[in-house]
Amino acid sequence: MQNRESLQAIIRERVSNELFVVVSNREPYIHQFKGEEIVCQEATSGLITALDPVMQASSGIWIAHGSGDADQKVVDQKNHVRVPPENPSYTLRRVWLTKEEEDGYYYGFSNEALWPLCHVAYTRPVFNDADWKTYCAVNQKFADAILEEVGSRKAFVFIQDYHFTQLARLLKRPNIRTAHFWHIPWPNPEVFRICPWATEILDGLLGNDLLGFHTRLHCQNFLDNVWTMLKAKVDYERFEISRDGATTSVRPFPISIDFEATSEDARSAEVETEMENLRKKYGLRNMLIGLGVDRVDYTKGIPDQFRALDRFLERYPEYQGRVMMVEIGVSSRARIPTYQRVNDEIDQIVEEVNWKYQKGGWKPILYLKERAPATTLHAWYRLANFCVVSSLHDGMNLVAKEYVASRNQEDGVLLLSRFTGSARELTDAILINPYAIDHMAEAYREALTMPLKEQKNRMRQLRAHVQDHNIYRWAAQVLSSLFQFEFAEK
């Protein structure tokens, strides 16, 4: 089983004379003002959990958008700051964006065009020529920063996500090898071809030596797009694309979590205390709890969770007063109209369902609109009799894996959308169709009536898979594949 130490050993063995560079929109450490003081916070994500130890082992450079309000106060003349703050071992290079650039590149093309296009959640993409031009300009800005850092050295550059489709092509040099991991789904050609810049995006991504997706289906879709839209040789057996004398390998790398750390944190005394606090605060004693943990996004199916709960309580009134659905919904991208609309829709459904069924001090939905600290989140995972992941389309979804890793008592039930990458791995979950409200309502009942023996059998299988297929295994597979590409001899 891969762990932090074995991953670091891979890096030390392979990256001895080369520079290792990670590129992402989001930075791993953020400096912010807290009163008159500056505090440094580590960003929370599975990606950072995996790549932070890689960077510490390689003494490499992480290049990202500097978004903290105190970020510019702590960098040197080269926009560098050494991190982690308690034991500096690699360099964070910050790239500064104007509000106009952030609007066009991030809120505009990345999240109003590419995000809905790739998620196929029946939200129409917005294709704005000015946003595309800004997106390309920001990609060039990041490329300039990377090339400045690399210089003439040999470098492995690991690019993250849909914000940088043009970057690899801009970095094409004999001394640079690139891998790009695409963290969201990739659609089929019938969907993707509506993008006015589809060929430019495909061409940019083919600048990579290695291109990774969560699932084999997403890889297949990408190959089909290239076959349909570009003059290129597509090898479906080897999952390789050859064009203009260069070859790009396309591979599935299902991302995961740090199972051991999540499991250990969930069994801590602090989590036990927080569980008791939550019981008292929200009146949860003797309550059956369903849990959703989502960023508020139209792809996550949050309204569908609540409509299914309404249907469930209609069909099975004996559960009224006994079941509570807790949704931890973290607001995001609130400036985008489609996100404003889904926020309004969720608020309306919560109000309607709670008004319909509330009695005494009980309401069926507890909607918490704030990010939960890690201890609180683990406490909710422990308290929940079942966890609902209702994504309409998702690259992977790590909430499902976090819930599983937190269930040290080996009970509880995972209800998992068929349209997540996780559903291809976590086959002992109850697989649900969030578009079918009646089906979801029955899944709630199945979860609440499942015998403890069956719960434990399913959860043991789920936990064994997540433990073996952890975040360090993902990173090791991606990097081992990248390191197979040799630099051109001078």
pLDDT at position 130: 98
Q: How far is CA 42 from CA 47, 84, 159, 222, 270, in A?
A: 12, 8, 20, 33, 20
Yes or no: say if 30 and 71 are a contact pair by the CB < 8 Å rule.
Answer: yes
Above 90 in pLDDT, residue 168? yes
Distance in Å from the first CA to the final CA of the chain:
38
The per-residue pLDDT of the chain, averaged, comes to 95
Q: Are 62 and 69 in contact (CB under 8 A)?
A: no
Give pLDDT tens digits for 441-460. Answer: 999 999 999 999 999 999 99
Residue type, 60: G
CB 110 within 8 A of CB 162: yes
CA gap 422, 12 in Å, rounded = 31
Bridge partners for 233 per DSSP: 242
Predicted pLDDT of residue 134 = 98
Is the Cβ–Cβ distance between 252 and 213 less than 8 Å?
Answer: yes
Q: Which of 419, 418, 411 is nearest to 447 (CA)?
A: 411
Give CA 407 to chain center in angstroms. Answer: 21
What Å distances lie between residue 68 and 65, 138, 440, CA to CA? 9, 18, 40
DSSP code for 43: P
Phi, psi of 388 (to 5 degrees): -110, 120
If you average pLDDT over residues 138-163, what whole number do you get? 97
Q: Per residue in 59-99, pLDDT tens?
A: 899 999 999 999 999 999 999 999 999 989 999 999 999 99
Six token digits for residue 481: 């594949």
How far apart CA 165 and CA 183 sit, in angstroms, is 12
**Dihedral sign of CA atoms 114, 116, 118, 119 in order:** positive
Task: Report residue 47's pLDDT band, with 50, 70 and 90 as the boundaries.
Answer: confident
Provide the pLDDT confidence category of residue 308 given band limits of 50, 70 and 90. very high
Q: What is the percent of the chain with per-residue pLDDT over 90, rounded to a whole number?
A: 86
Residue 259 clears pLDDT 90, i.e. is over it? yes
Q: How far apart are CA 480 and CA 378, in angstroms?
A: 32
CA distance 57 to 399: 28
Phi, psi of 429 (to 5 degrees): -75, 165
Name the maximum alpha-carbon separation found in the chain: 78
Q: Given this model, what pLDDT does residue 488 score?
A: 67
Q: What is the pLDDT of residues 91-145, one digit of tens each?
A: 999 999 999 999 999 999 999 999 999 999 899 999 999 999 999 999 999 999 9
